[in-house]
Structure 1
Amino acid sequence: MARRKRFDDDSHENHERWLISYADFITLLFAFFVVMYAVSVVNVGKYKVLSDALGDAFGGRGAPNAGASVAPGKPDALPLSNIIAHKRLEAARRDRERLDLLARKLNSVLAPLVNAGRVRVTRTARGITVEINASVLFDEGDAALVGNARATLQAVAGLLKDDPHAIEVEGHTDTTPIRNAAFPSNWELSAVRASTVVRLFADNGVLEQRLAAVGRGANQPIASNGDPVGRARNRRVAVTILSGTE
């Protein structure tokens, strides 16, 4: 009886169980290729929507060739880079135009002093520099505003308060030494003069976050210190309205 039972078990053994494992393997392999294909194919419609959205965000209407076909697996990054480059160029152009207009207004407001050679308004790679002879603003060896200095600086502040650019105010002296209770050296004198101008700007509506005061002492002359005329030129305050691309 035992021998017959063993024979029955062997006769019912399933010799095709490997087909189940093989079918599972084929299914997984198919799923793998489906996923890989889905990842490699760019949805042109969705890409165009993304391109248009980016264009709107930067102020335009999509990429220049947003409707062009995109090869599967090779998204075209050129439209986005073109948008960014174009927007940068546009921003730089608008900034130049804004600074040019501001320079004209400053020249107009300061015309009497410009014509007298006591103020210079120049355009540089850094922005606009308004160079004011120290005698317009201060007594020699002092940092308190005198005469019409306050009105002059208030006129400048009126043009700057609604302008977005950062402003750097530099104080400069000649090489004549100064040593008194208030100013041990030309460093202190130049720094306090710059700070005096910055404080007046802030008091007249220019945001303090845009302002910086720098004392240069006698280290950046624009004329010779060997004669009175040159020393007078070197004693100055330079107000630089910094370009947005600085």
Structure 2
Amino acid sequence: MAKKHKTRIAAVGDIHVHEEDSGKWTDHFKKVSEEADVLLLCGDLTDTGRISEAEVLAHELKACSIPVLAVLGNHDHDHDKVDEISKILKEAGVVLLDGDFTQVNDVGFAGVKGYGGGFDRYMLGMFGEKLNKDFVQEAVNESLKLDAALAHLDSEDPDMKKVVLLHYAPIRATVEGEPEPIHPFLGCSRLADPINRRNVIAAFHGHAHVGTLEGETSKGVKVFNVSKPILQKAGYELPFYFFEV
């Protein structure tokens, strides 16, 4: 039997590219291309969701010679330019995942932005005013999109190793460190359901800048908060977390 190729993943979230960041990421993207097989960008790619910021990032990514997979974050939605930002990044070769899936080597990747809603017994329920129900429904929808993408990967190969890419957290452990009152806005346990059910190897997210680097779901799936501020605080000189599958 042929030995399967090991895939080295590099991941980072919350890079918050500004208009004046031209040249700031070029060396980082060159270096990570030498050390990994695929790069995951876990949302908040731009600082305020402006087209000009996406254009800077697209130019910086020219230095990256490995596949780049990404989800958008809340900051990328801020100026309601999601379609324009998505087009710019796709033209730069980025594979944007929003309920979608792709494969690199023998690893399947599925991604959604995710949403808030709280964790475990403090998770918000579908009750009360319509605005509250809409908030909860958004997290439900994101969970369903993720489950559908993972199901497609299962249908292609039931034994495929699967990795999930998010912006919002699927578990509470990786947002711990943030003020507890804002936890419901940092992620939702509903996102963990398809991760547990579909035998995912690992999940990566960002969003919580002062959260915790590593945790796991109730089924033992590794979850990594790869927000750039957390990686920097942990002493990563190259602002990427590496994980081998």
TM value normalised by structure 2: 0.30
Return the index of the structure with the highest Cα Rg: 1
Q: Which has the higher contact order (CA 8 A, sep 6+)?
A: 2
TM value normalised by structure 1: 0.30
Which structure carries more strand by proportion? 2
Which structure carries more helix by proportion? 1
